[in-house]
Structure 1
């Protein structure tokens, strides 16, 4: 049996919204957030379903810029300070979520999670499609963001679509110390309509952390 609640968290950009599903005796917590579209997409909901079925609490976060109706995420210097209060709210004080804590997200959400992994105290990070570079612009690399958790010894995993124009699995693997940290899944940057392989890979990685 699981409990569900919605939590609003004040941030420098206004309130963020957290949908928290917590099974009884949860094994740990996974916090996931959306991409630049600003919506909680079907693949995030599918991953949540698989994780909750496996006994994990899952928090789906609508970031403050999205709740405010902005069409695009702000720069990292603005986005990250508005992300940190969400994790602080979940991991401190009353209602603290159980550990281990895996933090991640879809596309732009993965970027913010990887950049702030150390600051948020994440035990591991998970990317559902990491946008390594803009389509057709491989020299505009975000590899430093991708590798940000590595110096802190934080385990990471990337689920990358086989035809992702924001970076193929091979491109992502080339930027990481261990190619096994990347799992190839069907589809492109948006995966497929029935992302069963994404769910299975996400559950497998989170289970390895727990």
Structure 2
């Protein structure tokens, strides 16, 4: 089978240039998957790359998006409104370039999953894929739970969570599937289970 092509696009936003790493399948495109990175990580996270490989095998173009603060070399994470605004602009650009009629799945790992949940309505996502959703900061019971962000994604959601994730385990809910794999917040120990977890969920979305 021909290998997918990887293109890198710079996308200008009001908060600076973002960067989209596009994994383009060799066969006809069946959908668009857009994933964001964690707060302190990048698009080379092993779980993001594993999901990108599954999606491209299914014929989905997959974009791994670097937020503007990361492309500028900064480590400090901006506030949620800035992240959400830049993400929404990148999504609009990618959807326009790949045909709005294709199924659109957004998501990411950790902080990237939070952004995708908060913006699911604004971006027109058909579903959201969350890797290691950070429900509650470890050791900080005084901090508010992020569960309302997950609840606010009013589209089908798949959460893949490590069984020892210090950020907690979100509950299943109508329209939300929570798949538990071995490991902590990095999901490294559960990488071997990611393809079998994500593939049937994506296949079901594409066959609707």
State whether residues 34 and 108 of structure 1, in contact with CA within 8 Å, keep that contact through their aligned partners in structure 2.
yes
Superposed CA RMSD? 1.8
- Verify: 1:156 aligned to 2:157, yes or no: yes
Match of 2:135? 132
1:62 to 66, 78, 84: 66
State whether residues 29 and 98 of structure 1, in contact with CA within 8 Å, keep that contact through their aligned partners in structure 2.
no
TM-score (norm 2): 0.90
Give distance in 2, aligned partners of 1:12 and 1:71.
19
1:54 to partner: Cα distance = 2.3
Give distance in 2, aligned partners of 1:155 and 1:179.
5
In structure 1, list runs of 5 or more residues that go unmatched: none
SS at match of 1:112: helix
Give distance in 2, aligned partners of 1:111 and 1:180.
14
Give distance in 1, aligned partners of 2:22 and 2:38.
18
- Verify: 1:181 aligned to 2:185, yes or no: no
Match of 2:146? 142
In structure 2, list runs of 5 or more residues that go unmatched: none
TM-score (norm 1): 0.89
Q: Deviations over 1:151-174 (max 9, x none)?
A: xxx111100100100112xxx11x
Map 1:18-57 to 2 at 5 A: 18-23=20-25, 24-40=27-43, 41-57=45-61
Structure 1 stretches of 4+ with a deviation exceeding 4 A read none
SS at match of 1:131: coil
Q: Deviations over 1:93-147 (max 9, x none)?
A: x443761110000000000000000000000001001001101234520111111
State whether residues 165 and 188 of structure 1, in contact with CA within 8 Å, keep that contact through their aligned partners in structure 2.
yes
Give distance in 2, aligned partners of 1:98 and 1:31.
15
Match of 1:191? 187
